[in-house]
Amino acid sequence: MINISHYQFKRDQKLSDFSPSDTGKYKNKKEAEEKLNDNIMLLSELQEKLYAYDKYGILIVLQAMDAAGKDGMIKHVMSSVNPQGCQVKSFKSPSSEELDHDYMWRCNKYLPERGNIAIFNRSYYEEVLVCRVHPEFLVSQKLPVDYLDSDRFWNERYSHFNNSEKYLNDNGIIVLKFFLNISKEEQKKRFLDRIELKEKNWKFSAADIKERKHWDKYMLAYEQMLQNTSTDIAPWHVIPSDHKWFSRLLVSEIIVQKLQSLNLKYPVVSDEMLRLISEAKQTLTDNRE
């Protein structure tokens, strides 16, 4: 079992305290993938219990720089779950309709029902990341305040997130937050792969290269986000992501451990239902057709 507390961000920490190349006790891909496969099968069983228990919902939030592996993470870790109980939503630049609502509206529409798992590929946290690196984006939000891009403004947004996640937790919606921590060197390598390998050309985006120029600003924005929104109720997990085989294992382990901690159970069948089941069995057994 992995000590997942080692990867939880504490408010007095810095992002530099976490190595993007860490692989824990695992020294090779094969060993990690064997454990990942075990977790994938276990996750399938736990999801079925989650659905049947019908008291909790799970919201998984993935945040990362480009090429950190969010899409592959979803594809591999959630490969065995029932699609009927899991939904994935990606959030890109807001539409004109979304800009006419409060900034969390577009995410709140996709919160999970009880018994379900929702995955946000990027999320409302973009509001303190890309908007902090590019504060000019705030103008389009038409906010009735005169202190945009100030400490007060960003602190209010952090408070919105913390209060919202406490509200969700109080209502049985568990929030699991993952920052996929990739190094600048590994991102460069993956960008070059997208350029040099024809089968990966479709992943290439000139906008990603443009945003890479703001790397230091993004790292500062991420660190401030982590320091202000990693709470006891909804802590951030900083996932080393230079090695995809370890990042996928670690995320699967955190999800599995959280689901196990909920003590999920199948509903208890009433005596009346047991009687009806017994009668149905007798009817089917007596009927030779």
How do residues 23-58 score in pLDDT, each as one tens digit?
Answer: 999 989 999 999 999 999 999 999 999 999 999 999
Residue 216 has pLDDT above 70, yes or no: yes
Residue 233 has pLDDT above 60, yes or no: yes
**Inter-axis angle of helices 29-53 and 70-77, to 10 degrees?**
70
* Confidence bin at 286 (pLDDT 50/70/90): confident
Look at 99-103, 145-149, 202-206, 247-251 and tell me which has the smallest mean pLDDT. Answer: 202-206
Number of Cβ within 10 Å of residue 56's Cβ equals: 20
Amino acid 221: pLDDT: 98
Task: Classify the C-alpha dihedral 33-37-42-45 as positive or negative.
Answer: positive
Amino acid 197: pLDDT: 84
Amino acid 288: pLDDT: 59
Residue 18 contacts by C-beta under 8 Å, 6 or more apart in sequence? 7, 9, 181, 238, 240
Q: Residue 106 sits in which domain range?
A: 4-286
Residue 43 contacts by C-beta under 8 Å, 6 or more apart in sequence? 77, 78, 80, 81, 252, 255, 256, 259
| Mean pLDDT of the region 260-285 | 90
Verdict on whether the full-model pTM lies above 0.75: yes
Which of 51, 60, 126, 53 is CA-nearest to residue 87?
Answer: 60
Counted domains in the chain: 1
Q: Taking the C-alpha atoms of 104, 108, 109 and 114 in order, what is their torsion angle to the nearest 10 degrees?
A: 180
* Confidence bin at 179 (pLDDT 50/70/90): very high
> What is the residue whose two structure tokens read 């860490």?
22
Residue 289 has pLDDT above 70, yes or no: no
Amino acid 81: pLDDT: 94
Residue 59 has pLDDT above 70, yes or no: yes
CATH code, domain carrying 175: 3.40.50.300
* Confidence bin at 145 (pLDDT 50/70/90): very high
